[in-house]
Amino acid sequence: MDRRTLSAYDRGAAAFARAWEAQPVPSDMQAVVRRFFKAGPTADVGCGSGRDTAWLNKNGFPTIGYDASDGLLLEAQRLHPGVQFEKAALPALHGIADDSFVNVLCETVIMHLAPAAIAPSIRRLLETLRPGGTLYLSWRVTGGADQRDEQGRLYTALDPAIVFQALAPADVLLDEHPVSIASGKTVRRVVARKFGDW
């Protein structure tokens, strides 16, 4: 995770969590999850306030939420008691074993990574999946050059080719460019299934 971005999330964790929890229900993301995810252990990588982790758990996908920000993890635990949250950061995701999950959700996270960390992060996300497991990956579309917002968060203008090259061990099932219902921002949304059977 980009250090200035992580610092912004730690510093403003309560405000970010309030804002995310107040957003419209991400029914577009939820519809994609229902369409492609299979029953089984699930990870929400970059879980933020824990909103999506809690929804996944309530909808048949036993989920652990992971985040790099101590501040956001505290907010997630406060807002969603009874849901499991743990610290882990891309690209390494230390503490998560290979082949751990049937599904991985990584919603609008990789745009906060430096360009050199994007491909290793995607490869690591795939490693945490069982053969035949499903990865949901999305990022906010940033045109032109990398940008930082007023809080200092990095938005990398990433080349999608980097993403799809890193997804070589998987079959891409969905690739779309919607406006997110929750944020009102244009995102790139990709769903990929890791080769193999489980």
How confident is the model over 73-116, as pLDDT tens digits? 999 999 999 999 999 999 999 999 999 999 999 999 999 999 99
How confident is the model over 135-150, as pLDDT tens digits? 999 999 998 899 999 9
Q: Domain range spanning residue 45?
A: 3-194
Q: Look up tokens 């990870």; give the residue.
A: 43
What is the mean predicted confidence (pLDDT) over 156-171? 95
Is the dihedral angle over the CA atoms 118, 126, 106, 160 positive or is it negative? positive
What CATH number did the domain enclosing 31 receive?
3.40.50.150
Domain count, the chain: 1
Question: How many angstroms separate the CA atoms of 114 and 162, rounded?
Answer: 12
Contacts 24+ apart (CB under 8 A), 60-64: 61/33, 61/37, 61/103, 63/105
Amino acid, single-letter form, for residue 38: K
198 has pLDDT over 70: no
Amino acid, single-letter form, for residue 57: N
Q: What is the pLDDT of residue 143?
A: 83
CA-wise closest residue to 48 among 27, 22, 26, 71: 71
How confident is the model over 7-57, as pLDDT tens digits? 999 999 999 999 999 999 999 999 999 999 999 999 999 999 999 999 999
Q: What is the pLDDT of residue 144?
A: 85
